Structure 1
Amino acid sequence: MTPRIGEEFIDWKQPDGTDTTLGLVDFSIFPHLDHPMLTENTMAAAVEWAKKLGNDSYAIDEDTAIKVVADQVEVISEGNWKKF
């Protein structure tokens, strides 16, 4: 759904070797922020990930959702998240 996912989230390479994706929304998502089973998904890692993308991005935990209607983006959360 996002324009890019970042090298950190690529399990297989596309034929063109990039991290580009569908681009249905104009931001990227760092998922599972601070999840106990994904110890590498820290806020510090999210900050470094976001620096490389060149587009708006969000780090979100399991208690956060992003709602998009037309060109309006709304974060709905009872947890931890950050927009970059």
Structure 2
Amino acid sequence: MLYNIDMNIKEKILESFSKQAKRKVFENDFIKDLGIDSLDLMMLVVEAENEFGVQIPDEKLTNITQVKEIILLIEDLKK
């Protein structure tokens, strides 16, 4: 069951980032390479928080550089 939740998180985050970056995004992509600035990132984070019912502390976002780090953070908060 956890696998299904994890895949849903991964798919939703990649979809959101792909829309923002206007190209297909992969979990190993670096956020800065996608043309996503800090405001865009905050909008994506708020969308993810609403979608998955989690609250991501701001201090957790300061060192995030790759899309997969956001996926892992949300998965961890859902446990």
Which structure carries more helix by proportion? Answer: 2
Which structure dedicates a bigger proportion of its chain to strand? 1
TM-score normalised according to structure 2 size:
0.30
Higher relative contact order (CA 8 A, sep 6+): 2
**Larger gyration radius, structure 1 or structure 2:** 1
TM-score, length basis structure 1: 0.29
